[in-house]
Chains A and B, each alone.
Chain A
């Protein structure tokens, strides 16, 4: 992919020595990560290792207790204005979709642009329809989320996040809750998004997708990044024993 952009772009996400505890439980143990503009980073690792918690600290759904997180030049602090500014630049897609069931698909997508960006309704709806077109379900705009299949719901969730015109997209196991036949339709949308130059952090165990789309794959275990590399190197030549073990488990299964 376009390596020039990666080299010329500065780091849009910088995490330095990020720690977090749930009570006594040390979930994040000094995570360091820098993500460049337009970079696609895939995170994999065993369940419970803190992957979700980590990417959720980036948009402050979880608060980190030590270390520094800087997103697009804004540091995440107690200052709620910074948090709001950063959240409006980051889109997030969840494993369980989390669409708003009481709102039609189109209203799910226009909600944040109208209330946060203060766009007029007409503009928001026009952009929403373009996005629904982009994720391939314009004909579902006036249904309720509950009337859609899982794959369709997840695509609406992606459109909803994109409607805020974010600079960064976070994906937390976006296909884990889907039936096999729907995984592809969601991955297709994500692939297109990656090719369009979006900065993405994706937690997933879809290694085919990772191989094809990621610039970098990170292996996460026990609250920290164990190793990270280009997909070719990562799969061909994992440095750590833990990584090797994990890969053998998910690749054979």
Chain B
């Protein structure tokens, strides 16, 4: 017995930390060389960075201006409104985890209400932040006072939420049997993809007012949101088109043979499969959008990066660019990585059927 159980044990060298290190980092002489070179490189870079970050760096530029980074010039007495929004999102997020975390019928009504909650959270957030001209409880905070990470988030979230359905519609339009719809979709997608985001933003910010009737003013932030949405939708549409093309013809045929209508075939069979397949590129597009919100600098909005610029210009913090921009970069990274991670989790959760 013992002989057998010993025989099925993996060789000693394969187990434990040492075994792992040996197997993965020092398996051959060139692998060992590569490992040592990488370690040396990491040491040099990290030593410099850490020494600076822990000794010379003056982080008070970040701590002093933290509120500015987070909300920009948003009136300080009204900050509670931002907190209420954050609380709402956290609450909804927690409820979503409860509702979707475990399978089961009893979660059905929670799911319904959480979905309704998410849908309502958008107008609520905007109303809460913006307020009303004649209200003493919620005095008006014009969008020119929105800034920092708050503005970056609002631009990205509105862009993501609005561009996704628009992109799906454009992708469907591109395959439509109605020539007008098809041509419009193709023209739109190709036109947008043919120009840089900066020009779209600039058009939305500067040119749009020229086309609008006299006296009609569209808010600057709203214009930026529209610009991001229109731009991202074209790319989403192309991603979704790829997903649609990957759904085999047999799926349409089986669905139609069962008597499903055209819309049901799309909504119940084709789109769910197509969208699942394009989660990674679509989330990639969202991450790009999140980072590209920093381009609103050119139309004078005070997003996170523009705030950073103004902080660097503060007389008492002259020359602290490294601290400020490193801090900003870390923030962008944390949220981008969170999205990427969430997308991987989502893929795993939905990919069960593909096994």
Contact residues of A with B, CB < 8 Å? 59, 61, 84, 87-88, 90-92, 94, 96, 98-104, 111-112, 115-116, 144-147, 157, 160-161, 164
Q: Are B259 and A94 in contact (CB under 8 A)?
A: no
A157 to B268 alpha-carbon distance, docked (Å): 17
Complex: chain A residue closest to B258, CB-CB = A112
**Distance in Å: Cβ of A154 to nearest Cβ of chain B:** 12
Interface stretch of the complex, out of B45-53, B133-141, B167-175, B247-255: B247-255
Given the known interface contacts A59-B257, A84-B261, A101-B354, the answer about A94 and B273 at a Cβ–Cβ threshold of 8 Å is no
A61 to B276 alpha-carbon distance, docked (Å): 26
Complex: chain B residue closest to A146, CB-CB = B355
**Distance in Å: Cβ of B264 to nearest Cβ of chain A:** 5
A160 to B269 alpha-carbon distance, docked (Å): 14
**Distance in Å: Cβ of A27 to nearest Cβ of chain B:** 17
| B residues less than 8 Å from A98 (CB atoms) | 248, 250-251, 253-254
Complex: chain A residue closest to B262, CB-CB = A80
Partner of B250 from A96, A116, A146, A147 at Cβ < 8 Å: A96
A124 to B27 alpha-carbon distance, docked (Å): 58
A-B pairs with the 5 shortest C-beta distances? A98-B254, A112-B258, A88-B259, A98-B250, A144-B353
| B residues less than 8 Å from A160 (CB atoms) | 258
Whether B245 is near chain A, meaning CB under 8 Å from some CB there, is no
Partner of B354 from A61, A91, A146, A157 at Cβ < 8 Å: A146
**Distance in Å: Cβ of B346 to nearest Cβ of chain A:** 14
A116 to B257 alpha-carbon distance, docked (Å): 11
Q: Are B260 and A112 in contact (CB under 8 A)?
A: yes
A161 to B353 alpha-carbon distance, docked (Å): 20
Partner of A115 from B250, B264, B355 at Cβ < 8 Å: B264
Q: Are A61 and B257 in contact (CB under 8 A)?
A: yes
Interface of B is mostly: helix
| B residues less than 8 Å from A116 (CB atoms) | 258-260, 264
| A residues less than 8 Å from B345 (CB atoms) | none
A100 to B270 alpha-carbon distance, docked (Å): 9
Whether B352 is near chain A, meaning CB under 8 Å from some CB there, is yes
Partner of B355 from A61, A104, A147, A157 at Cβ < 8 Å: A147
Given the known interface contacts A102-B276, A115-B264, the answer about A87 and B353 at a Cβ–Cβ threshold of 8 Å is no
**Distance in Å: Cβ of A69 to nearest Cβ of chain B:** 15
Given the known interface contacts A115-B264, A115-B268, A146-B354, the answer about A100 and B254 at a Cβ–Cβ threshold of 8 Å is yes
**27 A-B contacts, Cβ less than 8 Å apart?**
A61-B256, A84-B259, A84-B261, A94-B250, A94-B253, A98-B253, A98-B254, A99-B254, A100-B251, A100-B255, A100-B273, A101-B273, A102-B272, A102-B276, A111-B258, A111-B260, A111-B268, A112-B259, A115-B260, A116-B258, A144-B352, A144-B355, A146-B353, A146-B355, A147-B355, A164-B258, A164-B259
| A residues less than 8 Å from B276 (CB atoms) | 102
**Distance in Å: Cβ of B21 to nearest Cβ of chain A:** 37
A103 to B260 alpha-carbon distance, docked (Å): 16
A160 to B350 alpha-carbon distance, docked (Å): 23
Given the known interface contacts A94-B253, A101-B273, A101-B353, the answer about A87 and B268 at a Cβ–Cβ threshold of 8 Å is no
A102 to B268 alpha-carbon distance, docked (Å): 10
A221 to B21 alpha-carbon distance, docked (Å): 67
A250 to B299 alpha-carbon distance, docked (Å): 75
Q: Are A102 and B258 in contact (CB under 8 A)?
A: no
A87 to B255 alpha-carbon distance, docked (Å): 10
Q: Are B258 and A87 in contact (CB under 8 A)?
A: yes
**Distance in Å: Cβ of A55 to nearest Cβ of chain B:** 11
A182 to B269 alpha-carbon distance, docked (Å): 27
| B residues less than 8 Å from A164 (CB atoms) | 258-259
Complex: chain B residue closest to A88, CB-CB = B259
**Distance in Å: Cβ of A92 to nearest Cβ of chain B:** 4
Q: Are B353 and A102 in contact (CB under 8 A)?
A: yes
| A residues less than 8 Å from B258 (CB atoms) | 87, 111-112, 116, 160-161, 164
**Distance in Å: Cβ of B324 to nearest Cβ of chain A:** 46
| A residues less than 8 Å from B355 (CB atoms) | 144, 146-147
Within 8 A of A (CB), among B151-204: none
**Distance in Å: Cβ of B91 to nearest Cβ of chain A:** 30
| B residues less than 8 Å from A147 (CB atoms) | 355
A102 to B254 alpha-carbon distance, docked (Å): 14
Q: Are B268 and A145 in contact (CB under 8 A)?
A: no
